[in-house]
Amino acid sequence: MSSKTRVIIVGSKGRMGEALLRLAKADPALELVGGVDRDDDLNTFVDRCDVLIEFAHHSVTPTLLDLAVARGKSLVIGTTGHTADERAKIQAAALKVPIVFAPNYSVGVNVLFYLTQLAAETLGGAFDEEVIEMHHHHKLDAPSGTARRLGEILAQAAGGTYEELVRHGRAGDVGARPRKEIGMHALRGGDVVGDHTVVFAAPGERIELTHKAASRDTFATGALRAAAWLRAQKPGLYSMQDVLGLGKK
Ligand code: NAD
């Protein structure tokens, strides 16, 4: 077995794919086997890799999961916007192969997840909570996977689920804000790589936790770190917080 983790990038011609190819080539812990995009046949060389790294489109993930399970390959999933069925399929595949599935591979955002949970638990429902995200105008899904995860963390701390508590935007005669509602707002424009803010607002004071990504390299570096880490793991579904050894939040 090679000392380097052999990786294939799925979605290699995309914005993230370009960063992953460039950084994987320069990473001494990795051997870049190659990249595939739409119309390429992954079947012909999938056996030459240890880990598949996917940043493509959510509709690609189910086929990739079948291939990973059939060939015994580990998977780093960076793609966002999955349906409930696709998420269930990721969980089922993780019983058979190791998978890291993270809405955001940056170290800073994973600290934001941690701080958001801490703030939500400490403030104990006394503050109104809103999530605001902004991304470039090419982004296909909304809200971002990261904003969704922030919503899940806030909902869980309030004793509910994302589906029960999150409200997407407001328009018209909406009435006063319900106590436990979690507002979710997606802004799109320009070349913004990814901004996320969690607002905790009470009468007389407000806390805002903000993370701003200025380069896709921050996500790509984290995903490559996850790939090298994943090679030594047993089948299971892992988060970036597992990779970083942060407390599970
Ligand atoms: P992009 O549109 O620039 O690139 C996607 C690429 O996937 C394209 O080149 C497209 O041709 C390719 N693709 C589509 N169908 C394919 C198929 N069947 N097989 C192989 N390739 C296929 O998008 P992007 O900005 O690079 O983002 C890709 C995904 O990664 C999105 O879901 C985005 O939200 C997500 N993302 C996640 C993180 C994170 O940290 N988890 C960070 C940034 C982006």
pLDDT band at 1 (very low <50, low <70, confident <90, very high): low
Mean pLDDT of 77-104: 96
Work out the mean pLDDT of the chain and round it to a whole number. Answer: 95
Q: How do residues 44-64 score in pLDDT, each as one tens digit?
A: 899 999 999 999 999 999 999
10 close to ligand 1 (CB < 6 Angstrom): yes
Using the structure block, give the residue that is written with the tokens 């190819």.
21
Report the pLDDT value the prediction gives residue 249, as an integer from 0 to 100.
44
Which ligand 1 atom sits nearest the alpha carbon of residue 60? Answer: 18
Report the pLDDT value the prediction gives residue 206, as an integer from 0 to 100.
97
104 close to ligand 1 (CB < 6 Angstrom): yes
Here the tokens at position 93 are 């595949």
Report the pLDDT value the prediction gives residue 41, as an integer from 0 to 100.
93
Residue of 8, 18, 20, 37 to mutate, ligand 1, most atoms within 8 A of C-beta: 37
Q: What is the pTM of this model?
A: 0.87
Residue of 80, 146, 148, 191 to mutate, ligand 1, most atoms within 8 A of C-beta: 80
Percent of the chain exceeding pLDDT 90 equals 93
The two beta strands, 205-213 and 236-238, are unpaired
pLDDT for residue 246 is more than 90 = no
Nearest to 33 by CA among 13, 16, 47, 43: 47
Please identify which of the residues 58, 135, 185, 211 carries the catalytic annotation.
135
81 close to ligand 1 (CB < 6 Angstrom): yes
pLDDT band at 248 (very low <50, low <70, confident <90, very high): low
pLDDT band at 92 (very low <50, low <70, confident <90, very high): very high
pLDDT for residue 84 is more than 90 = yes
Do 43 and 70 form a contact (C-beta atoms < 8 A)?
Answer: no
Q: How do residues 122-180 score in pLDDT, each as one tens digit?
A: 998 899 999 999 999 999 999 999 999 999 999 999 999 999 999 999 999 999 999 99
The residue whose CA is least distant from atom 15 of ligand 1 is 38
Looking at the DSSP assignment, which residues form a beta bridge with residue 210? 197
CA distance 122 to 73: 41
Report the pLDDT value the prediction gives residue 30, as an integer from 0 to 100.
97
9 close to ligand 1 (CB < 6 Angstrom): no
Q: Would you call 4 a catalytic residue per the annotation?
A: no
Cα 210 to ligand 1 centre (Å): 24
Report the pLDDT value the prediction gives residue 3, as an integer from 0 to 100.
87
| DSSP character string of 74-139 | EEEE------HHHHHHHHHHTTTSEEEE-S---HHHHHHHHHHHHHHHHHTT-SEEEEEEEE-TT-
